[in-house]
Amino acid sequence: MIRARRARIVATLGPASRAPGTVKALAQAGVDVFRLNFSHGSHDDHAAALKAVRGAEMALQRPLGVLADLQGPKLRLGRFKDVEIDIKPGHKMRFDLDPTPGDETRVQMPHPEIFKALRTGNLLLLDDGRVRLRVGERSDEWADVTVESGHKLSDRKGVAVPEAVIPVSALTPKDREDLAFALRIGVDWVALSFVQKAEDMAELKRLVGGKAACLAKIEKPQALADLGAILDYCDGVMVARGDLGVEMDPEEVPVAQKAIIRAARQRGVPVIVATQMLESMTSSPAPTRAEASDVANAVYEGADALMLSAETASGDYPLEAVGIMNRIMERVEKDPTWPSLMDAEHAGMDDFDADALVAAARKAAEAQSTACIVIFTTLGGTARRMSRERPLQPMLALTPKAETARRLALVWGLEPRLGKEPTSLEDVTDNAVNSAVEFGLAQPGQRVLILAGTPFGAPGAANLLRLAHAPSKPAKRSAK
């Protein structure tokens, strides 16, 4: 179960895929992390899905991550007397707080926080951008709007305000309940939706308390303006192109995607590219050529992982979608130009000692005689630093903690596995070379590059770089 690619696959579980047999088949086909979408399904559904992932993990002897994706605040219009109204450009109406069912002249928008944030001239987007409105006169309780585009408007359509920061917590009461449940059942990652500012992630980190890794979904333009500060609070980040595409012009989304990936790579923060990667495969056994190119481009950009949503959650061809994504990734990484793209950008040195050692490890690994890199890590920091350098040699991350191995399943190029905590330099060397041979990453006699930290067993930055050669007859590796 060693992957033949460095980029990782995240797949959403749902009615089409959460059965134990399907989960195992998806992992065999290439899934590294499974997403539980808390916008849909019950707590019982998600608990059963996580149990199926743990079963697949045991059967395949490969760590598999589980990502809990919180729904986030949903801003919506109220209801209409006739469910739907006809509109056209130039149509004027009022939004207010009155819960009385609306008509062509007015309708409720039950979010006083939006009215307080709006300014004359602001753009409002409804129904995933299908209706565009411009704000005229306003107060803290109402706003007059003029339709710029759109023909129909119906009950409970979503509202987006791309030109204002809405003073609302990214964690709703539902999210807090879902978060407590997700931590209780033991998820590895938690994703926060509709992040606007660094304080949103700081609140999530405080509530999670280290029980899971925290990931920011970048799907609002306001988050791009505060991206650096947001990344400082992130263990991971997602380019959520669906909602981002609602609030930004289409030509801006690819530029934003590249900017987010570049910023995340500079910090060594794992980055996922998500939404509509292989959307047509929800109902078709093959993707469009444009979708195949979209997947390939994200791999060329150096994204840690790509995510499938409806394709695996509710689609007709979940296994085929994973299989084709896996094939595209493998093909890109065989392209002779791909290594130069991975080597084109390296992060600066934040922590001189640790970063200097990791940079030296990358240079040492470039020797053709180096078969693989073995990284000993307790909490995953050393392994993530090494991944940030994008070495082309296979990387085996050995850790005594199951939760660390599962979190690292999301990270570019890493093959995380459980391993006994080393107690001496000799133990480090023996474990590294024997594990490299056992997992097929090195042949007897080949050189193995070892990265570790002392004192052994104490979380902290790497301070040990060692070269060793795989033995001709490796001893049986002991796992914890």
CA–CA distances in Å: residue 262 to residues 156, 302, 326, 390, 414? 37, 9, 23, 13, 19
- The residue annotated as part of the active site, out of 6, 18, 24, 35, is 35
Residues in the chain: 480
The answer to whether 92 and 214 are in contact (CB under 8 A) is no
Compute the distance between CA of residue 227 and CA of residue 265 in angstroms, rounded to an integer: 13
The answer to whether 358 and 386 are in contact (CB under 8 A) is yes
Tokens 């493998």, located at residue:
330
Residue 219's nearest CA partner among 199, 198, 190, 248 is: 248
Residues 6+ apart with CB under 8 A from 293: none
Q: Is 312 noted as a catalytic residue in this protein?
A: no
Compute the distance between CA of residue 83 and CA of residue 331 in angstroms, rounded to an integer: 49
The answer to whether 27 and 49 are in contact (CB under 8 A) is no
Q: Which residues pair with 66 in a beta bridge?
A: 34
Residues 6+ apart with CB under 8 A from 173: none
The answer to whether 357 and 463 are in contact (CB under 8 A) is yes
The answer to whether 316 and 282 are in contact (CB under 8 A) is yes
- The residue annotated as part of the active site, out of 275, 377, 382, 429, is 275
The answer to whether 324 and 286 are in contact (CB under 8 A) is yes
Q: Which two tokens stand for residue 77?
A: 């219009």
Q: Is 35 noted as a catalytic residue in this protein?
A: yes
**Region label for 475, one of left (φ > 0), alpha (ψ between -120 and 50) or beta (otherwise):** beta
- The residue annotated as part of the active site, out of 76, 79, 116, 420, is 76
Compute the distance between CA of residue 67 and CA of residue 259 in angstroms, rounded to an integer: 24
Roughly what angle, to the nearest 10 degrees, separates helices 20-29 and 43-60? 50
Compute the distance between CA of residue 383 and CA of residue 135 in angstroms, rounded to an integer: 50
CA–CA distances in Å: residue 59 to residues 55, 224, 410, 476? 6, 41, 19, 20
Q: Is 100 noted as a catalytic residue in this protein?
A: no
- The residue annotated as part of the active site, out of 24, 54, 217, 384, is 217
End-to-end CA distance of the chain: 19
Q: Is 130 noted as a catalytic residue in this protein?
A: no
The answer to whether 378 and 457 are in contact (CB under 8 A) is yes
The answer to whether 170 and 73 are in contact (CB under 8 A) is yes
Strand ranges, E, within 14-130: 33-37, 65-69, 84-86, 92-96, 106-108, 123-126
* Enzyme catalytic residues: 35, 76, 217, 275
